[in-house]
Amino acid sequence: MTRTRIRNGRLIDPSQRRDEVVDVVLVDGRVDGYLGATETGQFDREIDAMGLIVAPGFVDLHTHLREPGFEDKETVATGTHAAVAGGFTTVCAMPNTNPTMDTANDIVFVIEAGRRAGFARVYPLGTVTRGEQGKALSDTSEMAQAGAIAFSDDGRPVYDARLMRYALTNSLKHHKPIVNHCEEPQIADGGVMHEGRISDLLGLKGQPAAAEEVMIARDIELARQTGGRLHLAHISTEGSVKLLRAAKRDGLPVTAEVTPHHLTMTEEWVLGNVDGGGGTSPRPGPYDTRTKVNPPLRREEDRQAMVARWPRGWWTSSPPTTRRTALSTRTAPTTRRRSASLGSRLRSAA
């Protein structure tokens, strides 16, 4: 039996309603209790967490581990390594690999790769449609049995409303959520930032809020129709929050996620008109390519809606997508980041 004491940290654990400076006692890696600073005991190991936050392992609902097919960008091992470095002990892996996660074998491959790497728990998602082509449904029941946690054509929406309807109906059988990428591609139309004052100013093609809200409105009505389990990926606008609150009022089985950057950053960052990270850092200037994310950073009103009006009990979080393409514009040099997950970002920001 190994006893560990984490000293002097600020413990934040919403599940226990705790936010206080207290020592945490672990026995064989599991939380056994709490001690005041002056209380004593016998421990095999003591960790000093002065000035640090102690929290339960975070869960990342939305990662791209890129394996198989895009190992030049990320692998299950590099992605999960970065995850634990940032405090994430469980990650869900999106299925837009090459080949895409269409079968039970694909799902097992990723689970095994995660087990071999030994960093974080890995829960893969399967595709909704074969090859994410939006033409024919994948065998979601088989993948659910193999361990798929949910289904998504992430990176693109299930554009065909009829297929989305049938996918939601199928979720009544396997009880796993259908996770839709909330973007109407014709309205988004290749926009690289939020459409509004700043996109006009910078001459960048905008992506209006309606591109997201139209897709969410459709999916909520399909969930109402079918009773299927719907989860909406990375929502970002005030209008989306309103739609979700209305769906929740109606008792629909709908959940959603928001990314940390949509809770903290706005389109002003694209303009570079922000503090460049505190202290002496210079302002980053306009066209900061690090602010190019999808969905785009929105208005301050949208950010506030995310923070203040998120329905209680729906709080789920998601990391930024880690795509190289998401970190660079066409004009910028592409940065090769093998493990630029939320974890490493949080660490570098700290």
CB atoms within 10 A of CB 55: 15
196 binds another protein per the rule CB under 8 A: yes
| Closer Cβ to another protein, 53 or 332, answer by number | 332
Give the C-alpha separation, 234 to 295, whole Å: 7
Determine the interface stretch with another protein among 37-45, 66-74, 139-147, 281-289 (rule: CB under 8 A).
281-289
Among 200, 275, 300, 301, indicate the residue that binds another protein (CB under 8 A): 200
Residue 286 neighbours by CB under 8 Å, 6+ apart: 202, 270, 271, 272, 273
In this complex, which beta carbon is closest to another protein, that of residue 132 or of residue 302?
302
Answer for which of 14, 41, 99, 285 binds another protein (CB under 8 A) is 285
202 binds another protein (CB under 8 A): yes
Is residue 29 involved in binding another protein (CB under 8 A)?
A: no
CB half-sphere exposure, 272, CA atoms < 13 A? 12
With binding defined as CB under 8 A, does residue 279 bind another protein?
no
Q: Which is nearer to another protein, 195 or 257 (CB)?
A: 195
Q: Compute the distance between CA of residue 173 and CA of residue 343 in angstroms, rounded to an integer.
A: 35
Binding another protein (rule: CB under 8 A), the pick from 197, 309, 336, 347 is: 197
Give bridge partners of residue 292 from the DSSP assignment: none
Q: If binding is defined by CB under 8 A, does position 281 make contact with another protein?
A: no
**Residue 10: beta bridge partners?**
21, 53
Is residue 195 involved in binding another protein (CB under 8 A)? yes
Contact, 254 vs 231, CB < 8 A?
Answer: yes
- We find the least distance from the C-beta atom of residue 76 to another protein, in angstroms, to be 28
Residue 348 and residue 342: Cα distance in Å, rounded? 10
Residues that bind another protein (CB under 8 A): 189, 195-206, 208, 285-287, 289, 329-334
